[in-house]
Chain A
Amino acid sequence: MNKEVSMLFDIEQKIVSRCTIEESPVCDGCLYLGLDGGEERFCIMQQQPECCVVAKATGRFERSAEDRS
């Protein structure tokens, strides 16, 4: 196991692939966001940030747009 890349054992990775995601402001502080060894972001809710239902329901898109402006 390479701890730099993932904290998962090979058998944990093989059984199902993780939902990895790109960095996005709508994920900041989200309880479903995983950060693995600082290398990889993943989502245990299996959502991609641009169409995340949790972000939509909780108004994160509006808030992150306000932050950008």
Chain B
Amino acid sequence: MADKNTYAYEDELTGSRNAPDYEPGMPLKDRIRLVHRLNYSKEEMIRHTANKAVAEMVDFMGKHAICSTFDRFADQHPQCGYGLTGACCAFCSYGPCRATEKTPLTICGKDVHLVVAGNALRRLAAGLSAHGAHAREVFIALKAAASGSAPIPLKCPEKGYAVAKLLGVETDGKTIEAICEEVADIFIDDLQRSLPKEHRTLEALAPKERVDLWKKLDIIPISAYHECFETNNLTSHGTDSDFESHMQAFLRTVLAYAITTVISTSLATDIVYGIPRRSRLNVNLGSIVARDCINIGLNGHSPIVAFAICDIVGTPRIMEKVRKTGAKDLKLYGMCCTGGEFIERDLGIPLVAMASSAEMAVATGAFEAIIVDQQDVLPGMIPVARQFHTKVITTSSSGRKEGAIVLELDYYLKNLDTIYELAEQILDIAIDNYKNRDPKRVYVPKVRAKVEMGFGIEEVMKLFNGSVPDKKVYGLAELVKSGRIRGIANFGSCGNIRGAVFERNQIIIARQLIKNDVLVTCHGCSGMGLLFAGLAHPDASTLCGERLREVVEAKDIPPVLHVGACTDSTRAGQIMAYTASAAGVTNPQMPLAMVAADPAAEKTMGARYAFVLQGIETYSCVQDNTIASDRFMEYTSSHLRDMVGAAMNWDPDPYRTSEDILRMFDAKREALGWPVWDYTIGTREEIEDQIPDTVEIGQNLCTMR
């Protein structure tokens, strides 16, 4: 959206790659050169990442011959250029084929645009399946909790009531349990249906202006299962070969992803496990208790078993077992989005790693067990665990690991009614394993950040004069309109090793935005980077522009509000849509942005386009394997803006990206007649070299030199 030649400040590190700029019509070899060059070595990562705990741990692992993600990334060089750009089709056994200038058609006859669109569509479907599997487990847990078929407590029936009202469920004369079961049934129906009928969650939960637009574009999904099924059918051998038809399926699948596997999942999780509650604690590897404590990591996305474990830790029966080992305590730690589910709910469980850094947590040698469910639990973690006493225990039949202990909810969820027995069995293994820990091999970097968590939509409504029945956050709208807050940006998605320095881009962009009075929300693994960088504590107000600083200090809140796990992008979407609605404008008119700086997992395809379809401009610094097709690039970066009022923006330079967002905000403010004021882009010295006071970097406790 901005003139590329007039940036106030550009990133020296990105510039040092001498990567060519993307230009439509450029030869494929230059596109490959572009993505090949935008890579960084392990040494550069250690030097430039904002996460000093991970930098220290990766260095430590290297010195002790423990292989990390960053070593495996180096071993993969050079990555396949056709795969990197999306020009490779490996769907059928004719292939793999590549669509290039020399060989413009695959054996079956697809051009490069169809190949790229097909690859993107299949990746999106994989992401839909992943969040969909998580959704299914949570919906079944909600139904079981409500019906009493499993001993899972219904921790927030009040939210169940509010969701039921949103969905138009008749509540009179029904028990709250019956109401919540009906909510579960609606969610399950919209997940699994094959016969077309009204999509109740979409109609009820999305802004009417959006629903009307999506209907006009003919992209209302039948159900999540069906769109996944159809996406694979449509891209199968010799089936659909129309680019527009591929893209229509893409948008329909994005909606299925956004509504059912994200929004409904987040709401159902709140009903069963409780809504976010504000709390202050420490995060990052430095939060791990190195001595006299049994440590257990909870990793993955679908937290059904993990919540059962959390419910019984601290009970006299478990603590008696702990004391018998000689340990003084037992602590749970969150990793990836299962960790995100815990950190927002005031359960005293620190978050120590996101997906790619979980193996660094394991390499501390301080964990008796890592309990994993499914998704983003990298296989590379297993050999790291084997080098220590750490046991990996899998709890989901979808997420087994070679060599791990299997103590899982079975494939048919037949043992959901004995989930607490399962949880205790898992704890027994971890507790018993404490005797095998070698204290001399424990190495915990003393780097941690202080954070304040728990900013769900209800908390934001309390802070900014919102109303649940009105679905409006009136106060926040007034603060944006009047010019105390320039706009709202949400940070989500994963973190990538390729195409970016680990946990650098999103920190730079977030710091530039709060410096320029933008209120930030965050969730998922990318959001965790902002926590580790110390931006999610009220003391980080010192990094804000004067206007935003006045607001966050008056309310005693951080400038970066953490809203939860990846599926809790729901809350960020609610905050944005309810604020726009209170301001009397639509999402595309409002100064709103989504930043998925370094997308990696398949799920991030849907995560980003979900915001685009909501009318929110979305920004990434890592290119997601689609650059071979100008038609796909044009469709997503420009044509979509005409269709839905927002598009995907890609620039590898985080400084330029920050300025693009600020310019977009100001253009929208100007169009609405709202006050506009100058922005200033901070230099590398200010943004990267100055570590906030909210991050503690102490002397290392290393016992193994």
Contact = CB atoms under 8 A, between A and B. Distances in A.
Interface of A: 1, 3, 7-9, 11-16, 18-19, 30-32, 34, 36, 42, 44-46, 53-54, 57-59
Contacts of B484: 9
B647 interface: no
Contacts of A31: 156, 158-159, 275, 458
A13 to B, nearest CB: 7
Contacts of B479: 9, 11-12
B462 A57 contact: no
Given A1-B554, A7-B556, A58-B157, 17 more contacts: A3-B554, A7-B554, A9-B478, A11-B475, A14-B478, A15-B474, A15-B475, A15-B477, A18-B465, A19-B467, A34-B462, A44-B461, A46-B468, A53-B161, A54-B162, A58-B158, A58-B161
26 contacts: A7-B555, A8-B465, A9-B475, A9-B551, A12-B464, A12-B475, A12-B476, A12-B479, A13-B475, A14-B478, A15-B465, A15-B582, A19-B467, A31-B458, A32-B158, A42-B462, A44-B461, A44-B466, A45-B162, A45-B469, A53-B161, A54-B158, A54-B161, A57-B157, A58-B176, A59-B176
Given A16-B465, A46-B467, A57 B475 contact: no
B287 to A, nearest CB: 27
Interface of B: 156-159, 161-162, 171, 175-176, 179, 275, 458, 461-470, 474-479, 482, 484, 551, 554-556, 582
A46 B554 CA distance: 24
A57 B172 CA distance: 8
Contacts of B179: 57
Nearest to A34: B462
B467 A16 contact: yes
A36 B478 CA distance: 19
A12 B467 CA distance: 12
Contact of A57 (B161, B466, B474): B161
Contact of A15 (B156, B478, B554): B478
Contact of B474 (A16, A32, A34, A58): A16
Contacts of B467: 16, 19, 44, 46
Given A7-B463, A31-B158, A57-B161, A12 B468 contact: no
A30 B478 CA distance: 27
Contacts of B582: 15
A15 B474 CA distance: 7
B478 A57 contact: no
Contacts of A58: 157-158, 161, 176
Contacts of B161: 53-54, 57-58
A7 to B, nearest CB: 5
A46 B470 CA distance: 9
A32 B465 contact: no
Given A12-B475, A16-B474, A32 B176 contact: no
A53 B556 CA distance: 31
Given A31-B458, A32-B458, A9 B158 contact: no
A59 B179 CA distance: 13
B504 to A, nearest CB: 34
Which of B161, B475, B479, B554 has the most chain A CB within a 10 Å cutoff? Answer: B475
Contacts of B469: 45-46
A15 B582 CA distance: 10
B321 to A, nearest CB: 31
A20 B484 CA distance: 26
Given A12-B465, A54-B161, A44 B458 contact: yes
A19 B162 CA distance: 17
A19 B461 CA distance: 12
Contacts of B470: 46
Contacts of A15: 465, 474-475, 477-478, 582
B174 to A, nearest CB: 8
B554 A30 contact: no
Contacts of B482: 11
A32 to B, nearest CB: 7
Contacts of B176: 57-59
